[in-house]
Amino acid sequence: MRLWCGIDWAENHHDVSVVDETGRQRVRLRIEDTAGGFGQLMSLLAEQNVISEEPVTVAIETAKGLLPAALRAAGVPLIAINPLAVSRYRDRHSPSRAKSDTGDAFVLANILRTDPHAHRPLPVDSELAQSIHVLARAHQDAVWDRMQVANKLRSVLREYYPTFLAAFAELATREARAVLHLAPAPAQGQLVRRASLTAALRRAGRTRGISATVEQIHTGLHQDQLRQPPRVEAAMAAHASALLHALDTAVANVARLEAALAEVFEQHPDAEIITSFPGLSTVLGARILAEIGDDRTRFASARGLKAFAGTAPVTRASGMKTLVTRRVVRNKRLGQAAYLWALPMIAHSPGAHAHFATRRERGDSYSAAARNLTNRALGMLHHCLQTRQHYDENKAFPNRHHQPVTSGKPLAGQVYQETEAQHAPTTTTTNAKRSVTSIAPPANKARLKTEAQPA
């Protein structure tokens, strides 16, 4: 007899259901979200394993949290099923769309019973890879938080302090934050002395070109501008100061998490292989490793990895209509990391630059050409990780290494980032050929952002 288990998790308790080959529910149990409740669950699974021909596989709707972590640590085969898929399966058992926690646990167990071939156990990543996963996502979230706070601060300054925005293009830089602490309002900005600006820049760590920078800032802050009423201006300055302190914290968080991520990533045995690829360094390499993990049985072929990242196109065919578009259902964090990888790879690899230029000449947009390039690069990365080889330019792009690259080393500010909604679908329509004027995305078609802001 073969048995399957489904767990409907919640914040305070979990419902457990065990079914047999006929779909009959053998056990129904509710456990608390405590160590004692987990002990009950393990005792139940041990009893059912004695009856079952194979180890009881557990289905749950999430791979995060203490319960899945404890089950994986105990060696229990665990499968995470998308909640949307569970909702579709539920309609088979309840056309009236009735729902309950115990019913969901029963549905989860029956999903494994009816379609075991359609679901795979969670990858068995090492503890080191799991820690990289946590730190890489935390670092990316911290970068997004920093950008959000900086945009809020910019919005407030635009309402009462436009001369400061004219003097500083990036608010997250140490110099901009130091000067704004010194002069948070236009009245103070027009009275600030050059000596005070010099001291502020030195405290921020500036060592070169201080005199020219001080003169430029001093001139900018002393420009005439429209003013808010005094009390309104003071209130806006207090708001800006609060956001400035939040920005200081966000910048410090990014720096701390990046240092922790670099320390852990360098200890992983795959780090040398990943960083051997052009354009992949600590942060971007760690993000890619965090999303693909180090369980090499997870992706049977490079096609699976490409589909997971969303770089491989998807075909939709119906009748006489066939449409090839970019893949929307994917791991968005891995897809973004792959997209950011394109530009530094073009700059460092002559073969990648030639491949990208060829795609552009064939009519691809910047985004489409970048996806095509990283799609190929992910295939090479999969092969190197499976075979434990380092990147070889001559094998990766044979007969193309003679092409020139754009520069010896890309600047941090050149790493462009587009939002997910700005990626236009790619169809089978063939556009007219056009000359390649730049490897960067056109300014009128994509909003340019950079994650490489100074810490």
DSSP code for 185: S
Residue 26 has phi, psi (to 5 degrees) of -90, -35
Whether the per-residue pLDDT at 438 is higher than 90: the answer is: no
Which of 268-277, 283-292, 393-402 is the least confident region? Answer: 393-402
Three-state DSSP state, 449 = coil
- Crossing angle of helices 366-387 and 350-361, in 10° steps, is 140
Q: Calculate the average pLDDT of the chain.
A: 87
Looking at residues 332-348, what average pLDDT do you find? 95
The per-residue pLDDT for range 167-212, each reduced to its tens digit, is: 999 999 999 999 999 999 999 999 999 999 999 999 999 999 999 9
Q: What count of other Cβ atoms lies within 10 Å of the Cβ of residue 50?
A: 6
Please determine, for residue 166, whether its predicted confidence score (pLDDT) is greater than 80.
yes
Q: Please, which contacts does 115-124 make with residues 24 or more away whose CB atoms are closer than 8 Å?
A: 116/4, 116/57, 119/59, 119/79, 119/81, 120/79, 121/57, 121/77, 121/78, 121/79, 122/63, 122/68, 122/72, 122/78, 122/79, 122/80, 123/293, 123/295, 123/297, 123/298, 124/72, 124/295
Mean pLDDT of 130-146: 97
Mean pLDDT computed over 429-443: 44
Q: Is the CB of residue 337 less than 8 Å from the CB of residue 352?
A: no
Identify the pLDDT of residue 85.
86
The predicted pLDDT at position 402 comes to: 52
Position 80: which residue type? A
pTM: 0.82
With bands split at pLDDT 50, 70 and 90, how would you rate the model's confidence at 247? very high
Pick from 82, 84, 118, 89: nearest CA to 106? 89
| For range 377-387, the mean pLDDT | 96
